[in-house]
Amino acid sequence: MSDIAKLQIGESTYEFPLVKGSENETAIDIKTLRGATGGVVTIDPGFKNTGSCQSAITFLDGEKGILRYRGYSIEELAEKADFLEVAYLLIFGELPTKEQLDKFYNDILDNAIVDDDIKKIIDAFPKNAHPMGILSSLTSALTAFNPSSVNVDSDEEMYNAIVKIMGKFPVLVAWTMRKKTGMPLHYGSRKLGYVENILTMMFQKPNDEYDINPILLNALDKLLILHADHEQNCSTSTVRVVGSSHAGLFPSLSAGISALWGPLHGGANQAVLEMLEAIKADGGDTKKYMGKAKDKADPFRLMGFGHRVYKNFDPRARIIKKAADEVLGDLGVEDPVLDIAKGLEKEALSDQYFVDRKLYPNVDFYSGIIYRAMGIPVEMFTVMFALGRLPGWIAQWREMRLRKEPIGRPRQVYTGANERSFVKLEDR
């Protein structure tokens, strides 16, 4: 294949270089398009064909169902690594040595204290506030308490901002949940591992010890790894674009959290469980809901199905489905909603509508069932996704800054009114 793409507009032909990725993905580099053509731009709603950057963090092949972080398969990482190691791998590019990991964790622990005044902000939220709204507000508020995290240019300044947020974010997540469950806020302990500490901060009762259940620990660790990065999805692109204005890491993350909240993105895990519960309450008639999902006049979609990139299967969903069986089995929990989910999956996989559109269960289809079995409230599910995605967002933000990417500022094709004269209010 030639390494040039040719574009003909009227009588003129323009040439653009092809860019190749390390897995042979090919892109047309149109950086010079507008200048060379005197103003022509491309248009691609939803960026379905547009690469926004070159990135060395995550590779995914939607046709083959492949997902790798820094070259390591998600299956191998979910089985053999822990979340903190994966976070280090994503952010810094290589698996850490024992010394590197210990230093990283110590630096995180040194920064795991959140200013006590943040509690006043939490107090001001109504009890029924959605935890994602609270989390994005608190993440943004951290900027005010840590102004040195904003103007970061050097490696050292970036590292300091990273360990700060890796330390404080789990505290905010746990406090967000404790606000919901009405429990006093908890700081965790330096003696615990990263994920052990998260569980303790979320669940320890003020009048009791908290014994970490290895089944829960293992399940949470795996879920966080599976969610840790997913290349240029909606929230990650948001983090990169906001960060490209040099807004600082914390506000960029806060914007990413807001993007994740939507039901078409991370909010799907909450929506899936609510959907499964609604089907159960409606007598468990999965066929009725399959019909609704296929009816173009009905806005209902089968939540947890379909993906912009995966058109074969979502490798994360396979791992999570197996984990859901194991965790519920190990905990001795029987959840009728798991049977409804399996029934829906079976029907959808053999239904022509879903087959034709290559719609498969995604990462969110089974994750909520595990979170619920762990005792996490439904409204917290997307917060748990955010906790997992944190290292991915950080890695992508860091890469964007290190590559000195320009500010994100797309073009448009204007379709509004042509110039017209203002008409005074009394004359309209």
> What does the per-residue mask of binding to ligand CMC show for 364-393, with x meaning CB under 6 A?
x-----------------------------
Q: What are the beta bridge partners of residue 14?
A: 7
Binding residue (CB under 6 A) for ligand CMC from 161, 165, 253, 293: 293
CB 122 within 8 A of CB 185: yes
Is residue 186 a contact point for ligand CMC (CB under 6 A)? no
219 close to 374: Cβ distance less than 8 angstroms: yes
CB-neighbour burial class of residue 274 (10 A; exposed 0-12, middle 13-18, buried 19+)? middle
Active site residue 307: yes
Q: Please identify which residue in 346, 357, 403, 411 interacts with ligand CMC, judged by CB under 6 A.
A: 357
Helix axes 268-281, 336-349, angle to 10 degrees: 100
Which positions from 207 to 246 touch ligand CMC by CB under 6 A, shown as an x/- string?
-----------------------x--x-------------
190 — phi, psi (to 5°)?
-65, -20
CB of 48 to ligand CMC, least distance (A): 7
Candidates 30-38, 157-165, 263-271, 390-398 — which segment interacts with ligand CMC by CB under 6 A? Answer: 263-271
Taking alpha carbons only, the member of 249, 224, 252 closest to residue 86 is 224
Rule CB under 6 A: say whether 302 interacts with ligand CMC.
Answer: yes
User: 188, 306, 315, 368: which one contacts ligand CMC (CB under 6 A)?
Assistant: 306
Asked whether 228 and 87 are in contact (CB, 8 A), the reply is: yes
Which phi and psi angles does 292 have, rounded to 5°? -60, -40
Number of shown-chain residues binding ligand CMC (CB under 6 A): 21
Instruction: Establish if 140 lies at the interface with ligand CMC (CB under 6 A).
Output: no
In the annotation, is 364 catalytic? Answer: yes
- As a whole number of angstroms, the distance between CA 13 and CA 219 comes to 56
Question: Considering only residues 16-45, where is the footprint of ligand CMC by CB under 6 A?
Answer: none
Question: Residues 186, 229, 307, 314: which is the catalytic one?
Answer: 307
Distance CA 31, CA 17 (A): 10
Q: Is 361 in the site for ligand CMC (CB under 6 A)?
A: no
Q: Is 287 in the site for ligand CMC (CB under 6 A)?
A: no
Point out which residues pair with 66 in neighbouring strands: 61
| One of 362, 367, 382, 396 touching ligand CMC (CB under 6 A) | 362
Q: How far is the CB of 248 from ligand CMC (least distance, A)?
A: 24
Which residues are annotated as catalytic? 307, 364
Q: Residues interacting with ligand CMC, by CB under 6 A?
A: 46, 230, 233, 264-266, 268, 293, 301-308, 357, 359, 362-364
